[in-house]
Amino acid sequence: MDFDDQLRRYFGTADLDAIHPEARAAGTERMRVDFALETNPGRRFALWALMYMLGDAPDLDVAFKDASERDAARDFMDMVDRAGGD
């Protein structure tokens, strides 16, 4: 899943600054629905990662029942936090 493609899919643009608040709310809701329905672990993780980067991800214990998936999500969160600190 390409980041820009996902932004276009859910928000109609790859430009985060151009997303109107109403479009952001609607796109976030569509992401949450798709996340809940997705059965492919890789796609679920990619959707969760996008929601995390946008500040809209569900808590790990709600998002991932499998401990290894929660650990991968924690690693992702740590990586994003480290990258943002530079």
Q: What is the pLDDT of residues 54-79, one digit of tens each?
A: 999 999 999 999 999 999 999 999 99
* pLDDT above 70 (res 1): no
Burial of 50 (0-12, 13-18, 19+ CB in 10 A): buried
Q: What is the pLDDT of residue 2?
A: 83
Q: How confident is the model at residue 3 (pLDDT cuts 50, 70, 90)?
A: confident
Burial of 57 (0-12, 13-18, 19+ CB in 10 A): buried
In whole angstroms, give the CA distance from residue 56 to residue 54.
6
